[in-house]
A and B are shown apart, each in its own frame.
Chain A
Amino acid sequence: MSQAHTTPPTLREWLSTDTPRSRFQARSIAIWNAWRTLSSNGLAMLGLAIIVVLVLMALFAPWIATHEPNAQNLTGRLNPPGWEGHLLGTDELGRDIFSRIVFGARVTLYIVALVAVTAPVFGLIVGTVAGTMGGWTDRVLMRMTDIFLAFPRLILALAFVAALGPGIFNAVLAIALTAWPAYARVARAETLTVRRSDYIAAARLQGASTFRIITGHVMPMCLSSVIVRVTLDMAGIILTAAGLGFLGLGAQPPQAEWGAMISTGRQYLLSHWWVATIPGIAILTVSLGFNLLGDALRDVLDPRAATK
Chain B
Amino acid sequence: MSQPPRIEVENLTVTFGEGRRHVVAVDRVSFRVEPGESYGLVGESGSGKSTVLRAICGLAPIEGGRVLIDGQNLTGARSRAFTRQVQMVFQDPYGSLHPRHTIDRILSEPLSIHGFQGRDQRITQALEDVGLDPAFRFRLPHQLSGGQRQRIAIARALILEPTVLLLDEPTSALDASIQAEILNLLTRLRREKQLTYLFVSHDLAVIDHMCDRLLVMRGGKAVEEMTDGALASRDVDSDYTRALMKASEGFVRPGAA
Chain B residues with CB under 8 A of A9? none
Chain B residues with CB under 8 A of A201? 59, 90, 96
Interface size class of A (residues with CB under 8 A): 20 to 34
- A303 engages B99 (CB within 8 Å): yes
Chain B residues with CB under 8 A of A220? 98, 100-101
Closest 10 CB pairs of A and B: A207-B83, A198-B96, A26-B138, A20-B138, A19-B135, A206-B110, A198-B95, A198-B90, A199-B98, A207-B80
* Interface SS, B side: loop
With A19-B139, A26-B138 in contact, do A205 and B88 touch (Cβ < 8 Å)? Answer: yes
Cα A168 to Cα B9 with chains together (Å): 65
- B59 engages A19 (CB within 8 Å): no
Say if the beta carbon of B224 comes within 8 Å of chain A: no
Say if the beta carbon of B160 comes within 8 Å of chain A: yes
Cα A178 to Cα B100 with chains together (Å): 31
Among residues of A, the one whose C-beta sits closest to the C-beta of B89 is A202
- B109 engages A203 (CB within 8 Å): yes
Say if the beta carbon of A75 comes within 8 Å of chain B: no
Say if the beta carbon of B114 comes within 8 Å of chain A: yes
24 contacts between A and B (CB under 8 A): A19-B135, A19-B136, A20-B139, A23-B102, A26-B138, A197-B95, A199-B95, A199-B97, A201-B96, A203-B98, A205-B59, A205-B83, A205-B88, A206-B110, A206-B160, A207-B84, A207-B114, A212-B113, A216-B109, A220-B98, A220-B101, A303-B100, A306-B99, A306-B142
Query: Which of A25, A203, A207, A212 has its CB near the most chain B CB atoms (within 10 A)?
Result: A207
Nearest chain B CB to A203 CB, angstrom units: 7
Nearest chain A CB to B144 CB, angstrom units: 11
Which residue numbers of A lie inside 8 Å of B, CB to CB?
18-23, 25-26, 30, 197-199, 201-208, 212, 216-217, 220-221, 303, 306, 308
Say if the beta carbon of B228 comes within 8 Å of chain A: no
Nearest chain A CB to B60 CB, angstrom units: 10
Among residues of B, the one whose C-beta sits closest to the C-beta of A29 is B138
Which residue numbers of B lie inside 8 Å of A, CB to CB?
57-59, 78, 80, 83-84, 87-88, 90-92, 95-102, 104, 109-110, 113-114, 135-136, 138-140, 142-143, 153, 156, 160
Nearest chain B CB to A207 CB, angstrom units: 4
Among residues of B, the one whose C-beta sits closest to the C-beta of A224 is B100
Cα A203 to Cα B113 with chains together (Å): 10
Query: Which of B87, B97, B113, B114 has its CB near the most chain A CB atoms (within 10 A)?
Result: B113
Chain B residues with CB under 8 A of A216? 109
With A198-B92, A308-B142 in contact, do A205 and B102 touch (Cβ < 8 Å)? Answer: no
Chain B residues with CB under 8 A of A208? 109, 113
- A25 engages B90 (CB within 8 Å): no
- Contact pick for B104, options A19, A23, A303, A306, CB 8 Å: A23
Nearest chain B CB to A62 CB, angstrom units: 42
Among residues of B, the one whose C-beta sits closest to the C-beta of A200 is B98
Query: Which of B92, B97, B110 has its CB near the most chain A CB atoms (within 10 A)?
Result: B110
Chain B residues with CB under 8 A of A217? 98
Among residues of A, the one whose C-beta sits closest to the C-beta of B153 is A202
Cα A216 to Cα B84 with chains together (Å): 20
Chain A residues with CB under 8 A of B110? 206-207
Among residues of B, the one whose C-beta sits closest to the C-beta of A204 is B59
- B138 engages A23 (CB within 8 Å): yes
Chain B residues with CB under 8 A of A19? 135-136, 138-139
Cα A104 to Cα B143 with chains together (Å): 47
Chain A residues with CB under 8 A of B140? 26, 30
Nearest chain B CB to A228 CB, angstrom units: 15
Chain A residues with CB under 8 A of B153? 202
Nearest chain A CB to B100 CB, angstrom units: 5
Nearest chain B CB to A135 CB, angstrom units: 14
- B96 engages A199 (CB within 8 Å): yes
Chain A residues with CB under 8 A of B104? 23, 26
Cα A23 to Cα B140 with chains together (Å): 11
Among residues of B, the one whose C-beta sits closest to the C-beta of A308 is B142
Cα A241 to Cα B245 with chains together (Å): 71
Cα A22 to Cα B103 with chains together (Å): 11
Nearest chain A CB to B141 CB, angstrom units: 9
Among residues of B, the one whose C-beta sits closest to the C-beta of A212 is B113
Nearest chain B CB to A208 CB, angstrom units: 6
Cα A219 to Cα B88 with chains together (Å): 24
Chain B residues with CB under 8 A of A23? 102, 104, 138
Nearest chain B CB to A148 CB, angstrom units: 29
Query: Which of A23, A198, A308 has its CB near the most chain B CB atoms (within 10 A)?
Result: A198
- A18 engages B138 (CB within 8 Å): no
- A206 engages B113 (CB within 8 Å): yes
Nearest chain B CB to A31 CB, angstrom units: 13
- B109 engages A206 (CB within 8 Å): yes
Cα A197 to Cα B95 with chains together (Å): 7
Nearest chain A CB to B52 CB, angstrom units: 15
Chain B residues with CB under 8 A of A203? 98, 109
Cα A25 to Cα B102 with chains together (Å): 12
